[in-house]
Amino acid sequence: MTNIHHVAAEGFALGAASYVAGRPDYPVAIEEWLTHDLGLTSGKTALDLAAGTGKFSPRLLATGAHVIAVEPVREMLDQLLRQFPQVDARTGFRSTHTARRCIGGCGGLRASISLVFDS
């Protein structure tokens, strides 16, 4: 995790479960915006950069889209996977380079990305 300050990385790693419990969820109304205004639907792919514990994942999944979540802190990603095993979760950093790499084949996956969300 060279791109994350060690104090932040340690804090998120140790507090991942508390983060899930303490951070509020995104409002359900966002699902309509994602589907109707942005056109995110079944057959499309959403890339969630810095996905954390997956607080935005249920909103993305509700659209029917395939969701790829990228998160640098493994403990945060583990929390996401416990709640949303259907998400294609990958360890990585939030950056333009990460988005380009995932669009071109994130970890061997070839996908046409319809929406990039930086949570």
Split at pLDDT 50, 70, 90, the class of 23 is: confident
Does residue 32 sit within a domain? Answer: yes
For residue 20, tell me if it sits in a domain.
yes
pLDDT score of 92: 78
Band the pLDDT of 117: cuts 50, 70, 90: low
How many structural domains is the chain composed of?
A: 1
* 58 falls within a domain: yes
82-93 core/surface letters (b: 16 or more CB in 10 A; e: else): eebeebbbbebe
Q: Which CATH number do you get for residue 62?
A: 3.40.50.150
Residue 110 lies in a domain: yes
pLDDT > 90: percent of the chain: 37
Flag the least confident range among 6-15, 30-39, 52-61, 84-93.
6-15
Asked whether residue 83 is assigned to any structural domain, the reply reads: yes
Measure the CA–CA gap between 28 and 8, rounded to whole angstroms.
Answer: 29
What local confidence, expressed as pLDDT, does residue 14 receive? 58
Per residue in 44-96, pLDDT (tens digit) is 999 888 888 898 999 999 999 999 998 888 888 999 999 999 999 988 765 54
- Which of 56, 74, 92 has its CA nearest to residue 103? 92
Does 8 score more than 90 pLDDT? no
Does a structural domain hold residue 55?
yes
1 located within any domain: no
33 in a structural domain:
yes
Domain span including residue 81: 6-118
The DSSP bridge pattern shows strands 113-118 and 66-71 to be: unpaired
